[in-house]
Chains A and B, each alone.
Chain A
């Protein structure tokens, strides 16, 4: 029996794979995050292709793209936009900032002040911004890819747990393997490739996919399993703070999107297990700080029986 496929998502993944070499799992997760209407946090060192991934996603899915480099002097208005007096029209006019886009790459989000961070995170949660008492809805779909560099924390404002919770997934791209790196070095300039990429689907089609992902069937057994996982995070001694119900909802949304990408109309335990490290990793606080979230997630999976 051939494994079921999803033609639309397979085409997207294939095209993304041409740009970002040797990272099929990360690409799949990033797509699942987008289809699950969540935001993505990429934690990695510079130069592994974070920007390339964000850009490639936007182009392939036919979405607008904006990139903002976060610095300590970036103000909320720089992001959201400003209201300026327009002499021609004799009135105040709102000039939207870079936030008003479909894919926003917030580079090195931990370099900006908490004020700016929270302005962004609020917009992510509400999918709208209020300026001078007027509410401006953000475009649909709205997808934030934020990056942060974990190794150089001097002079940064690390995101607190409550803010981390706003991101559906946290990924690490990691260094490419030797073959992929070789291909990268030998191949064309990425920017050049990006410029020539066609859009695989339209923005409307993407929204339809997102809607389809939300309807993927979740059986009682899967709910039992997810509940057992959540309960386990609250009782495992290695975990200082367990997962919230919001994290549980995130698990289901991501698992649904993952199942859709796999071409299925229902969620299976392997879907939950596949997305669990990315969804739960940044939300699990290890009692012993040397243990990473992903390791904890693996440990969690192996301590809960599949129902």
Chain B
């Protein structure tokens, strides 16, 4: 019984190893934990460190229970539950220092290491980037090294590390095999708790002055696009997001729209094929170049021309689309949609309304009113700035007539108000404009900082037409990016600045690598696996073939490892085999070789027992010993052959 023998005590040095490994494993959780829990975990680790330093026994059970209760109370206070991802992880982060604190024996050390392993996988619940993977590998090395130190306390730290690296090195091929060949299942095996998606950045379903200029402060990537063939010109790259039709005088909101399985329009004109990898943003819309053809997988087409996913985008998704920018859309728009696109709250923005009424009176043609409005905005000398002044009750009025400083949402919002006042159906479209080609891997990278708002007007016979009042006033915004459009000296997010070429090229490289990581590691799904197998010559690999291939490769690797690790003295060389053969021949005559007997001594004993063969036996033994222990002879192969022949011919 294992219980009858107490586990040996935890060696002091291994105690420090454990402490360091635990600290390393807990460090990545600090940004995700409430500060009180981080502090508690740090204090517990510190306490443990002091105890190990002083060779003091662990604290009393009651104290430990108190600390555990405190941890649970703090968790509940922060999350109001002990379930779910964050609460669960913070409980685990508390358990590890507590387990360490009560560790006395080697067995406790092993338990703590298992907890470390558990936390290791927990890191991936928070983030799955390449840096996290590298850190997890580092932690795994530390865990295995600590384990080696725990089992062999006499080992030097360097030796423990070498053991860990060798063990992990042997495991790497297995890991790769499992990753590539393990049959992939479509869809996740388990769901993440809902709190896992809090805090994603992206467009929202409403817009008020300032919301987009806030968003563009973030350099985070919104999505990446790979075009097949020539990409559209920068001025053509309008990526449509939520369309905002409802206006309450302050805020623009999305209007409920009908969702269909196929678009209502018929595509026409030049086409662009691309695949888009969208970062999770926790909302339903799938960003697309205007206007996507039918056939987008698992997507719905809204009648405001937006492409929507069936579920909020909570994981990185990749979809293939074909877009036709010159498709006429909304030729036969429904009455209620147009009515909504004309609606203005009463008594808001009176000056703009008056201006709109004037435009309507002066121009019979709606198209002419659009032109006139754009001309007005150009001539109003509006300034494009990231830090517009705060606006009050009538934002369009104040922007157009007083402050005259604003960002794209001011331009688009005010323009739509003006159009509606002039009797032209209009709405705000938010999304992204432009994007930047990464010279390293050639993908178009669109960031949150490319977020944009523009307008759409409906003209009879022409349908919905895109009008970008920002572009009309500041063409450089669209052709050359925000940085050019902003006036000199304006404070800007660092990565948008032009004079950080070195940083930008570094960032290009890094993003190209992490795109590869996203596509090939995180995005390695059943489809990719199938494609890979096809290119390896397995046209329709089902899970049985994959499992068979996996088993075969894994056992080949394990076999090779096993052969490598076979005890060295058990490997016989040709010389040994000759000697064994002689020993067998003599054993049949009753002269048995003892394992500890030196060749010369054995030969003399055998010669005494078999005097008629004495000379032969002595000669063979001498020959063998010279080859075996001598300082290297000339023509070893010939010598060996001669020995083999001598043993062969020896017939006692």
Residues 578-628 (chain B) with a chain A CB within 8 angstroms: 594-601, 615, 618-619, 622, 625-626, 628
Enumerate chain B residues within 8 angstroms of A268, measured Cβ to Cβ. 598-600, 625, 629
Q: What's the Cα separation between A303 and B622 when bound, in Å?
A: 24
Among residues of B, the one whose C-beta sits closest to the C-beta of A259 is B629
Q: Cβ of A304 < 8 Å from any Cβ of B? A: yes
List the 8 closest pairs (A to B, CB-CB), nearest first: A217-B631, A270-B598, A269-B598, A305-B595, A270-B600, A266-B630, A219-B629, A1-B619
Enumerate chain B residues within 8 angstroms of A304, measured Cβ to Cβ. 596
Q: Cβ of A307 < 8 Å from any Cβ of B? A: yes
A-B contact pairs, 23 of them (CB 8 A): A1-B615, A1-B619, A217-B629, A219-B629, A265-B631, A266-B626, A266-B629, A266-B630, A266-B631, A267-B629, A268-B600, A269-B598, A269-B629, A270-B598, A272-B598, A273-B598, A301-B596, A303-B596, A305-B595, A305-B596, A306-B597, A306-B599, A307-B569
Residues 1-58 (chain A) with a chain B CB within 8 angstroms: 1
Choice from A1, A221, A272, A302 contacting B628 with Cβ under 8 Å: A221
Q: Cβ of A222 < 8 Å from any Cβ of B? A: yes
Q: Cβ of A224 < 8 Å from any Cβ of B? A: yes
Q: What's the Cα separation between A269 and B603 when bound, in Å?
A: 13
Rounded to whole Å, the gap between the CB of B605 and the closest CB of chain A is 12
Given A217-B629, A221-B628, A304-B596, 13 extra CB contacts under 8 A: A1-B618, A1-B619, A217-B631, A219-B631, A221-B629, A265-B630, A266-B626, A268-B598, A268-B599, A268-B600, A303-B596, A306-B595, A306-B598
Q: What's the Cα separation between A224 and B569 when bound, in Å?
A: 9
Q: What's the Cα separation between A273 and B597 when bound, in Å?
A: 9
Interface string of A219-245 (1 = CB under 8 A from B): 101101000000000000000000000
Binding site for A on B (CB under 8 A): 569, 594-601, 615, 618-619, 622, 625-626, 628-631
Enumerate chain B residues within 8 angstroms of A273, measured Cβ to Cβ. 598, 601
Among residues of A, the one whose C-beta sits closest to the C-beta of B625 is A268
Are A306 and B630 in touch, CB under 8 angstroms?
no
Among residues of A, the one whose C-beta sits closest to the C-beta of B600 is A270
Q: What's the Cα separation between A267 and B626 when bound, in Å?
A: 9
Enumerate chain B residues within 8 angstroms of A267, measured Cβ to Cβ. 629
Q: What's the Cα separation between A104 and B597 when bound, in Å?
A: 37
Enumerate chain A residues within 8 angstroms of B598, measured Cβ to Cβ. 268-270, 272-273, 306
Residues 253-294 (chain A) with a chain B CB within 8 angstroms: 265-270, 272-273
Q: What's the Cα separation between A221 and B628 when bound, in Å?
A: 8
Q: What's the Cα separation between A1 and B615 when bound, in Å?
A: 7
Rounded to whole Å, the gap between the CB of B380 and the closest CB of chain A is 92
Binding site for B on A (CB under 8 A): 1, 217, 219, 221-222, 224, 265-270, 272-273, 301-307
Q: What's the Cα separation between A267 and B596 when bound, in Å?
A: 16
Q: What's the Cα separation between A304 and B626 when bound, in Å?
A: 21
Enumerate chain A residues within 8 angstroms of B597, measured Cβ to Cβ. 306
Are B622 and A1 in touch, CB under 8 angstroms?
yes
Among residues of A, the one whose C-beta sits closest to the C-beta of B603 is A270
Rounded to whole Å, the gap between the CB of B642 and the closest CB of chain A is 13
Are A306 and B596 in touch, CB under 8 angstroms?
yes
Enumerate chain A residues within 8 angstroms of B601, measured Cβ to Cβ. 270, 273
Enumerate chain A residues within 8 angstroms of B625, measured Cβ to Cβ. 268
Name the residue among A1, A267, A269 with the largest chain B CB count within 10 angstroms.
A269
Q: What's the Cα separation between A268 and B172 when bound, in Å?
A: 43
Among residues of B, the one whose C-beta sits closest to the C-beta of A4 is B622
Q: What's the Cα separation between A22 and B569 when bound, in Å?
A: 41
Enumerate chain A residues within 8 angstroms of B595, measured Cβ to Cβ. 305-306
Known contacts A219-B630, A307-B569; is A269 also within 8 Å of B599 by CB? yes
Q: What's the Cα separation between A234 and B533 when bound, in Å?
A: 56
Name the residue among B569, B619, B628 with the largest chain A CB count within 10 angstroms.
B628
Rounded to whole Å, the gap between the CB of A280 and the closest CB of chain B is 15
Enumerate chain B residues within 8 angstroms of A217, measured Cβ to Cβ. 629-631
Are B596 and A222 in touch, CB under 8 angstroms?
no
Enumerate chain B residues within 8 angstroms of A305, measured Cβ to Cβ. 595-596
Enumerate chain A residues within 8 angstroms of B594, measured Cβ to Cβ. 302
Enumerate chain B residues within 8 angstroms of A1, measured Cβ to Cβ. 615, 618-619, 622
Q: What's the Cα separation between A282 and B202 when bound, in Å?
A: 83
Enumerate chain B residues within 8 angstroms of A266, measured Cβ to Cβ. 626, 629-631
